[in-house]
Structure formats: C-alpha cells, structure tokens
Amino acid sequence: TQFDERPKPLAGRKAIVTSGPTHEPIDPVRYIANRSSGRQGHAIAAALAKLGAEVTLVSGPVTIPDPAGVTTLHVERAEEMRDAVISHLPADIAVMVAAVADWRVATSADQKIKKKPGEGPAPLQLTENPDILKTVGHHEKRPKVVVGFAAETQDVEQNGRIKLEKKGADLIVANDVSTETGIMGGTRNSVKIISAAGIDVWPDLAKEEVAERLAALIAERLGGA
Ligand code: CTP
Ligand code: CA
C-alpha cells in the first residue's frame, strides 16, 4: 500500500469549499445557471484534504466525481448552498469557488410552463440570490481564512480588489474568463492572487496546481495561530 508521508500543516483544521454552478429552477424542466465545471473548486477541496484538513465540499450540479478524502454535499440552488455552508460553521477555512447564479426566478412554476401559440414568451421575474461569500466574510463565526474567486471579463485587478473589500475576504483569486482564454470548462487557469498586501500573478497553471499553491498559501496564513 502507498503511504503519503508529506507534512500535514492543516491537520486538525476544518475547511468548507463551494464548487460548481447553482441551478435556479424556472419550472420542473428548466433552470438558470452559470457556466462552471467544478474542476477548480473540487481540486481545491482535494488539495486542502491532502494537507490534512477535514474538508466539507458543497457542490452544485457537476458531472465530475466527488474528490477523494472529502465529504461532499450536493445541492442545486444558491439558497441550499448558503444553508449548507452556514450550517458547517465554525470552520478555520472557507473557500468559495462556486459560480453561484446571481439571480433566481422569484416564483418558480410547479408545473411545466407551456408555449402559448401567438402569445410569445412570458417575462421571467428575477430576484437576487444571497451572496454566500459575503455572508461568510461578515459572519460572527467567520473562519480565520476566507477566500473568494472573482470571475471577470475586464478590469480583473480593480474588480478583484473591490470584491476583496466588499465581501470581507482575506484573499481573492481573480481570473479573466473572457471566452478567448478558454478557462471556463478548461483544465488550466491563469490567476491573480489579491490580498491586502498586494497582487501576485500565477500564470498558466493546471487547475490542480492552482489548487495546491492556494492550499499551501492558506496553510501559511493560518501558520501556528
Ligand atoms: N459568490 C457567492 N454567492 C453569490 C455570488 C458570488 O458566494 N451569490 C462568490 C463566488 O463564489 C466567488 C465570489 O463571490 O467566490 C465572486 O463571485 P463573482 O460572480 O465574481 O462576483 P459577484 O459578487 O457575484 O459580482 P458580479 O457577478 O456582478 O461580478
Ligand atoms: Ca456573480
């Protein structure tokens, strides 16, 4: 049998990670969602577990397998994801990677909405979803290290710094998700790590590599505290 003898700097630490998209129902057969494979979030959950953390992964609907060594909870909607995350506080580490749908349908239909010939589609009434990262970042049981992502198509650094501040995060992992980068759904990522101390650039890495570096950075920030 194989035995992993690497040091476990996160032994005894609890971590909560969100990953994947959320699906916000319109009716029983339709939903609103963001694009997200869950690859980056799942890799981060696995990397934290490898460093010895007790990891709970709250995942939206994805097609990739649950990572090894992690407790995975499956949810559909943003409100379910928020409830699952909050119910797992206190924790030492929160890494909110999910591409949460910013809006949900105000009142989803119980029955399939049928086309009405000649009438055209009925407009959807949307309402804003809870901001899970912001809730965790300002919670009375706020984890010692709170990490968010920032998916941007322009002004990546500026928007990342604004999110760091507004959401009460210690680190923001900002990435450019313009379609030409191929990051969405891809296996590689190119990120900027934004903290109060400044910006660090991690260009063109496998998502697993981003995950391992981030887990190491989190361990470093927790230090002996
Ligand atoms: N996030 C969250 N809950 C939401 C929206 C976002 O927890 N309802 C988290 C994401 O998981 C990510 C961070 O907030 O860690 C930033 O998400 P992003 O979509 O980039 O930012 P928003 O604040 O939603 O702003 P916008 O989409 O308008 O850029
Ligand atoms: Ca958003």
Host domain of residue 191: 14-108+124-220
pLDDT at 190: 86
Number of domains in the chain: 1
**What pLDDT was estimated at residue 188?**
83
Mutational test site, ligand 1, from 44, 131, 171, 194, max ligand atoms within 8 Å of CB: 131
Ligand nearest to the CA of 22: 1
118 assigned to some structural domain: no
Does residue 198 come out as left (phi exceeding 0), alpha (psi in the -120 to 50 range) or beta?
A: left
Asked if pLDDT for residue 164 goes beyond 80, the answer is yes
- Which amino acid does the sequence have at 202? W
Q: Is the pTM of this model over 0.80?
A: yes
Does residue 5 lie in a domain region? no
- Asked if residue 215 lies in contact with residue 47, where contact means CB atoms within 8 angstroms, the answer is yes
pLDDT at position 7, please? Answer: 81
In the prediction, which pLDDT does 24 show?
98
Q: Pick the residue with more confidence: 58 or 117? A: 58
Q: Are the C-beta atoms of 126 and 106 separated by less than 8 Å?
A: yes
- The ipTM value here is 0.99
9 is in an annotated binding site: no
Q: Is residue 3 part of a domain?
A: no
Instruction: Tell me what pLDDT residue 83 has.
Output: 98
Residues 193-203 as b/e (b if ≥16 CB within 10 A, e otherwise) read: bbbeeeeeebe
φ, ψ at 17 (rounded to 5°): -130, 135
132 assigned to a ligand binding site: yes
Q: What number is the average pLDDT over the span 119-136?
A: 94
